[in-house]
Copies of this chain bind each other. A is one copy, B any other.
Amino acid sequence: MGVHVLAVLAYKEGATVSSGLLAASVNTHPVVIRRLLLALQAAGLITTGKGAGSGSRLSRAPSKISLAEVYRAVETDEPFALHSKRPSQSCPVGRCIEAALEKVFASAESALERELGQTNFAEILQMVKACCEGSRRGRN
C-alpha cells in the first residue's frame, strides 16, 4: 500500500497530492493514507505541507527511491514470527534455538532488502505506464 502511494506521487511528478486523492486511488480512507504518509515522512521519502491546496510530494527523484526504503519505512514487525512465548529453558534446543534463528533470519532479511533495493520508482513508474497503454481515458 505504501508502494501504491509513492507510485501515485511519482506519477504526478512533483505536484502535490492530497490524502483524499491518494485515498481515492488506493480505495481506502484518507486517514489511513495520512498515517502512512507520516511513516514515509519520517523516512524522508516525501514532504508534506499543511493548509489549503497543499499535500504531499516526493522529496527525491523517483529513480532515487528504492523499494527497500519503503519496506523499512512501512514495515513495523519482524517478517519472521519468533516465538510469542519463550521456549522451554529446560530443553537444550529450546534454550538455544532463538539465538540461532535470529542470526539466520537477520541474514534472510538482509537478502530480502538487497533484492528490494534493486528496484526503484522510476522502474515501477515505467511498468505502470507501459501497462496502461491503450486504456488512455484516465480521469485521474
Contacts and interface: CB of A to CB of B under 8 A. Distances in A.
Contacts of A86: 27
B108 A115 contact: yes
Contacts of A128: 92-93, 96-97, 100
Interface string A55-77: 00000000000010000000000
Interface in A106-140: 107-108, 111-112, 114-116, 119, 124, 127-129, 131-132, 135, 138-140
A107 B124 CA distance: 14
Contact of A139 (B25, B90, B96, B100): B90
Contacts of A124: 97, 100, 104
